[in-house]
Structure 1
Amino acid sequence: MRSKLEIRDIILKLDHQMADDFEAQDLDFKQWNERSREDNIKTMISYAVCMANGGGGSVVFGVADKVIGLDNAIKGIPEDIDVSLLQKRIYEKTDPHLTPFFDEVFIENSRILIMNIFPGMPPYTTTDGAGTIRQGKDCLPFTGTLRRQMMDSSGQADFTSEIIYEDWHNLFSHSAMERIREFMSRERADHNLLSLSDEDLLTSIGALKEGFFTKGALLLTGKPESIERIIPQHKWSFRKMLSDTDYSHRDDGFHAIPVALYELERYISVDNPMVTIESGLVHPEFSTYPTIALRESLLNAFGHRDYRMTGTILLKQYKDKLVLTNPGQFIGGITPNNILHHPPVARNNHLMDLLDRLKLVNRSNLGVSRIFRSLLIEGKEPPIYREIGGHIELFFISSPLNNSFKNLVKQMVDDGNHIDVDHLLILQYLIRHEQINTIIAAEVAQRSMEQARELLSKMYNEFNLVEPVGRGKGRYYTLSRHSYDLLKENMKYERQQSLDKEAVKIRILSILKERPLSNKEIRQLTGMNSKQVQRLITELRPDGVELRGKGPGTRYLYNPEK
């Protein structure tokens, strides 16, 4: 990736050389087509795909590449070209989505636009299925042979496994290693591993290769100044938000992951209210945001973020929610609607291996399940994932402890019944709704229709937690009398208005991106009435939601090009 300063220096040499002489694997120059703005956007989309498949690079718009002389080469682009609109169009027209980063330079009073494409997880194509790949100075058709070659070699393209050829002692942070050893002790790591010296421990887990740090090792045990110099895109930030635009406190850093984790947890704990439950001689305390959920989500953000992209892992704490954002997109077929049960896919295999060997994470995809479970067993809202632009957002809704629900789960476990996350999600849904059918159960538990039927059947026949009403397609389930008794109170259903409105919108939008919904289906999902659903859809129209059809055939669907 060329820097803005480097590209500017190249442009200033065009009095005596052609821009074509400087074009390379990661650099191209394109003249702006003054006759058709749409053709320029199509060119940008095509080159975004080409560069992404070729390992990333920069495309400079507004410079003719086959002429000599600064006055002849500098053509510029119109001042009214909106960069955010270009990003939106490229994002919408690429698959998987690409979000370029634009830089501007002004030379001879002309505006030059630099489109930077970061390396990702190819292959990429346009939404029409067309694809090219950068080979030298050309964008070649992305044929089956080239795709096979790229896929065969992609296993070695792990940024975190790259070796840093410097004396690792000068990069090493003793405080970061101390945090790691604390984690390992708490997770009951092997005593023989804990008894090793720092160097032997790092060597045994693969953090030291040939006597040098890997970038993954630096991210785990490096000094902040070393990380900032070598991996400047690794950064964490915290904001205590007063509103969507104002905050009362902020902090940023380049600390190693264990130290960053400690700092972020410390900030959250300042305003993470605790509830004490009297239970005999023991009075356990429960925080609004469970420690397990916070730690697993933060470690996932650090472990899976795209370290080849600029950006920061940002944790925003609002009065009623937490929002965790990390650079990168879902990979390997993972989406917000299947993340709970999808097989594990790692962007940074080496870093995740190190975290696993140090007992900081589990490679068996248990982290997401732990996040869900730690919230659900306390009767709290499950987390909400969404992909926006080139980032992944995770929402935690501030929910009070539901002690009755916790007692229900405990009683079931005491009776020898294994309650997993799928059952908890369905129970949690039924506390806020009068009924659930197979379609909704499949959506809620992120399972297939057949799996959802089996879940509901088991909850009825074995656990006696739900009971069926009706037959055939109209069959639905409600909480059983046994469930009411376990809840130990005259429970009235809490309608979905108790759920944060933004969370409702995020969930409906997420489902609409997968399939259309009717007004009735949205009512079943949210507990809203018909008029409330109509108002909800009106609020979602700026996000690309539209209405199709009339009468009983009316459907709401997501149209990203709207």
Structure 2
Amino acid sequence: MTETNRIEYKAQLTKDLDLEKEVVAFLNYHEGGLVYIGIDKNGNTLGVADLDADMLKIKDRIKNNIAPSAMGLFDVVAEEKEGQPIIKIIVASGSEKPYFKKKYGMTEKGCYLRIGTAAEPMPQKMIEELFASRTRNSIGKIKANRQDLSFAQLRIYYEEKRKPLNQQFKKNLELLTPQGDINYAGYLLADENNVSVKVAKYKGTTRADLAESNEYGYGSLIKATKSVLNKIELENRTLTQITSKERLEKQLWNGIALREAIINAFVHNDYTREIAPKFEIFQDRIEITSVGALPEGLSESEFFEGYSVPRNKELMRVFKDVDLVEQLGSGIPRILETYGKECFQFSANFLRMVFPSAEPVNKEEDKESTKEGLADRLVDRLVDGLAESQQKIIQLILNNPKISKREMAESIGISTTAIDNNIKTLKEKDIIERVGSDRTGYWKIITKE
């Protein structure tokens, strides 16, 4: 392995600002890049002595020593190579160039650009040109039209991940404008807002015959995202084929790719146009449409290779904190593992992802197969007599055994109290049981013959 225009090796983490120089260079580079700690310039794996401590130091140094803020534009992950622990720093191209080391400011000693395999000082003329054209119309700089906003829901999501928010969370999560007002990112994550997210289902292959319309939103964008994920997971029914040798199962769409596409639409949508992403289910496909063309400087080929230029770094950071995003730049490559590039449609104002279904979405089924779709491996005697909400709870559990009661309520559209009552009934009928604790356990369907 050798260094490239997108890969930099460091034998160890040093105390000088050399790491910051490399990160700044990749932030200013149109493709971003990767910095590996624990590999020397010749590609030899040395490993790191204190993995956890070094990862914390790296996050702290990038957060505090680089401006404009790089939060939401980098990821620090642990990997293993040749039996040795190493650290990989994923750096996305930023939209607020030029980035620089705070100690030296916006000068040739503070600004760097990746050229070939080196971080080179940026000429002063380029610094001035980039600063003059810096993107200012971002959700982090737009003042929210409401300032009387609460964030109880956001606190709950962080507490669930054991990352409680302190009194300074709006500043720490960059939900304030430079003037100290709540910005549009904060507005999107607040308990109440005017953002409506629609999931439509059609009977045919066109928009002529609407079968179902669901609306989520008017609250935390995280809650809306989870509601859409749960709704589409409920629609993504499992297809079963029994052969002489085995029982084969697959879903209408690949679940991993679909999840990545949904989250990608939420995180990278251009909210400055005050339009939310849209989700539409047709007889032969699902379409996911987000607002905004590819970020400036990012080509289609770079997009497919996983180069990340987060449009909304504040949202990216929060979505990653609550584990909706796993690793920076991993979404599109995961989608491409199942679906081809032809499923992506680019225009001047929108990005649309179109995934064909494995069979007709609204396929007519007889009574027996419908029961099987609702409760999968449950025998008929367990399904008969169940209320519709209870059948939906069973389907949600089959799709995601770790689903929470709150997520069930959001998906079905009933209160958590109603969920508790239905679960109590299902337990009394020996249809489901809870295995493990409320925090780390899972639901189990009891399939007695």
- TM-score, normalized by the shorter chain, greater than 0.5: no
What is the TM-score normalised by the length of structure 1? 0.35
Q: Which has the higher helix share?
A: 1
Highest relative contact order (Cα 8 Å, sep 6+), 1 or 2? 2
What is the TM-score normalised by the length of structure 2? 0.43
